[in-house]
Structure 1
Amino acid sequence: MFRSHSGRISRYSSSSTILWLHYHTTYLYERQTSPILIAIQLAATIIQGILRATIPDLAAQMQACVLTFA
């Protein structure tokens, strides 16, 4: 765990995120996935990590939006 700039404690440390990205990229590369798809996956993962760090209850908010529009 680490403390973000806002003072919140996050479950995601930068080292564990880097290890996860390395594992995921290696997995996609071994499956001979297109480099463009690997880049898209990595970008999506990084954006998701940033959102999780800045908006802790993102999943709850997304669920509320889905229920609102359903």
Structure 2
Amino acid sequence: MTRQSHGGRKPIDPAVADAVAGLNADQAEFFEERAAVMEFDGGLRRQDAEREALAQTRRHFGLPTG
């Protein structure tokens, strides 16, 4: 089963999409919330928001940076 972020939207960057597919449910929710806030409230381009959200998710959960 493939996880899709942002209410069903797959991340634009294939590397981000692959990384998100490997997250557990809590991590994926954290990623999705961060990406949405940065995109819609922060005004970042979607691709930039997703990349930054992934970096924040990795830091928050102590995951290795890829």
Which structure carries more relative contact order (alpha carbon 8 Å, separation 6+)? 2
State the TM-score, normalizing by the size of structure 2: 0.41
Q: Which has the larger radius of gyration?
A: 1
Q: Which has the higher helix share?
A: 1
Which structure has the highest strand share of the two?
A: 1
